[in-house]
Amino acid sequence: MPYLLVAVGVACALALWHCLYTSLWHPLASYPGPRLAALTRWYRAYYDIVQDGGWLEHLTELHRQYGPVVRVGASELHFSEPDAYNDIYGFSKQFNKDPELYNAFDQNLSSFGQVDPAAAKARRETLGPLFSRQGIRRFEFVIQDKVDHLVERLVQEGSTGKPINLFLAFRSFSFDTIMSYCFATSYDSLDYAQFAHPMIPTIFTSVVLIWTLRYFPFLIHVVHHGPRALIRRLSPVLRGYFDLFEHFSDRIDEVQNDLSCLDSAGHDTIFHHLLIGKKEKPSKHSLMDEAVTLFGAGSETTGGAVTTAIFFITRDGRVRDKLFAELREAWPDMSLQLRAQDLEKLPYLTAVIKESMRLAHGVVTPAPRIVGKDAVIAGHAVPAGTTVAQGVTFVHMNPEIYHDPETFMPERWMEEGADALENNYFLPFSKGPRMCLGHNLAWCEMYLVLGNLLRKTAIHIHNTDEKDFEFRQYWLPIFRGRQMHGYVDPVAH
């Protein structure tokens, strides 16, 4: 009994010391924020898990209450001032990613998951040619093939007279595109009736596990080493993830055993750049991590941006008619094919794509970075060892940067000062040395899919409104409303 009392006493003393130090003497003690957030990480966990990805919404309230810099953890600050973004993520700062979050993705050996900038740079340089502007143009035919098939399938489904699940259709397109472009394989999800391939929901159902894995990291080991049959039964969310994981595993085994199997691809893949001609080849584990990273990054983000674009374009007759007129003038003969570089010259289409990307956001969770040396961020002194972050919504939805930010307004990208706006405050791919590796691919996809869809078809949205685009924050925006449906008819001329 005395030992138990001593243990309890020591624990209470340590807890009291932690509270006093964190509140009074910690280097961040002068920064405002909720006291409980500074004392325990479970403050944030409550909003991430119990409040269904509600941290971003709560973070907005915290900034209204405490100002532009909020202490959201014992050693963590979040900034709302737009200029802080470049100070945190720009090329002038080489802050490490915070492993406490990124380990939850279980992609530690990928270009995305490596927390050290030097290690990530080496991998990104290896894959860079595949995702460069020149690389994308060289293999644009792969993307165009999927775009043509998407248009064909939408018209086919539209001929039934029933509303089409466009939410799934656009994600099927981006899924098939990234699988073909990066891995020379495909699930042919565009061929499924109503685009209901069972793999597509995997993207936006498995990502909701991110907060559970962040706060309970031992579950990652359980997922990998526990009995698969039992886990599949207990967690339907993981069923599709396991199927995808096994598909990648089989494909990597095939490639590692016989590189000549890539000869039939007709274009480069990630395997060409990571394996062929390399003295030190990456492990299967590393290849798996990269495959899962590219699958996740290339599927939901582009699919979500296309969904956002079609919704706002088709519900605003002025935007729709102006865009169609521009496309028809540039593309009078639909039997000919316009390339992405031709579509890039269309100013209104370009403005529409930028505005769609702004409102789709991309990654919405503030991406944490660890300050290596004492730094100044947006004029605020930040000591070494501090975790800092800023979410893109605090820039994209800032009325001081974007007038009437909740309104879809392509014209803002054609006004005086638009170049400076894009260079400084347009962040769908983040910025700096860790910005999205596939941004050139995403631009090409957006030009081709929107150009072809809006020139060759007439789309009418069914039973969908802005409330269906309200999202919860699970790294990516996860929508809890109705999936967007619509009617699609071919355009005759």
* Contact present, 54 and 47 (Cβ < 8 Å): yes
3-state helix, strand, coil in the chain (%, to 5): 60, 10, 30
- Residues in the chain, overall count: 493
Handedness of CA 427, 166, 343, 321 (dihedral sign): negative
Give domain 75-490's CATH architecture: Orthogonal Bundle (1.10)
Whether 57 shows a pLDDT value over 80: the answer reads: yes
93 has pLDDT over 80: no
Q: pLDDT band at residue 227, thresholds of 50, 70 and 90?
A: confident
Report the predicted TM-score, pTM, of the whole model to 2 decimal places: 0.94
Tokens of 78: 């979040």
Q: What CA–CA distance (Å, rounded) separates 71 from 265?
A: 51
- pLDDT reading at 472 higher than 70: yes
Mean pLDDT of 259-271: 82
In the predicted structure, residue 5 carries a pLDDT above the cut 80: no
Residue 1: the pLDDT is 58
Confidence label for 117 from pLDDT (cuts 50, 70 and 90):
confident
Quote the pLDDT of residue 20. 65
Q: 166 is written with which tokens?
A: 């466009």
Q: Which residues contact 16 (CB under 8 A, 6 or more apart)?
A: none
Only one residue has tokens 């995702």, namely 131
With bands split at pLDDT 50, 70 and 90, how would you rate the model's confidence at 240? confident
SS3 377: strand
Q: What's phi and psi for 216, nearest 5 deg? A: -130, 65
Tokens found for residue 355: 């505005």
- Confirm or deny that 436 is annotated as ligand binding: yes
The pLDDT, as a whole number, for residue 397 is 97
- Residues 179, 172: contact at Cβ < 8 Å? no
Percent of the chain with pLDDT over 70: 95
pLDDT at 10 exceeding the cut of 70: no
The residues, ordered by sequence, that sit 6+ positions from 194 with a Cβ below 8 Å of its Cβ are 157, 164, 165, 168
Q: In sequence order, which residues have a C-beta less than 8 Å from that of residue 334 and are 6 or more positions away?
A: 455, 456, 491, 493
Whether the per-residue pLDDT at 438 is higher than 90: the answer is yes
Amino acid code (one letter) for 279: K
15 band by pLDDT with thresholds 50, 70 and 90: low
Mean pLDDT to the nearest integer, 319-334: 96
Q: In the predicted model, is pLDDT for residue 25 greater than 90?
A: no
Domain spans of the chain? 75-490
Place of tokens 């590692």: 256
For residue range 376-385, list pLDDT tens digits in order: 999 999 999 9
Among 352, 468, 464, 365, residue whose Cα is nearest residue 411: 352
**Which pLDDT score, from 0 to 100, does residue 8 have?**
66
**Phi, psi for 422 (deg, rounded to 5):** -65, -45
| Mean pLDDT on 15-39 | 78
Of 36-45, 151-160, 289-298, 454-463, the range with the lowest mean pLDDT is: 289-298
Q: Kindly report which listed range (165-169, 202-206, 322-326) carries the lowest average pLDDT score.
A: 202-206
Q: Supply the pLDDT for residue 359.
A: 97
pLDDT beyond 80 at 23: no
448: confidence class by pLDDT, cuts 50, 70, 90: very high
Phi, psi of 51 (to 5 degrees): -90, 25
Q: Which of 360, 292, 247, 371 is nearest to 112 (CA)?
A: 292
* Mean pLDDT along residues 155-181: 94
Residue showing tokens 């799934």: 168
Q: What is the mean pLDDT of residues 200-219?
A: 86
Contact 387, 38 (CB under 8 A): no
The tokens describing 301, both together, are 């983000």
Pseudo-torsion of CA 309, 312, 316, 321, nearest 10°? 0
pLDDT tier at 200, thresholds 50, 70, 90: confident
- Mean pLDDT computed over every residue of the chain: 91
Let me know if 233 is exposed, middle or buried by CB neighbors in 10 A (0-12, 13-18, 19+). Answer: exposed
What is the rounded CA–CA span in Å between residue 96 and residue 115?
6
The residue with tokens 């699609």 is 488
Q: Which residue has the tokens 């039997």?
A: 335
- 359's tokens: 């409102």
DSSP string covering 458-492: EEEEES--GGGG-EEEESEEEE-SPPPEEEEEE--
Q: Indicate the pLDDT class of residue 17, thresholds 50, 70 and 90.
A: low
- Given this model, what pLDDT does residue 323 score? 98
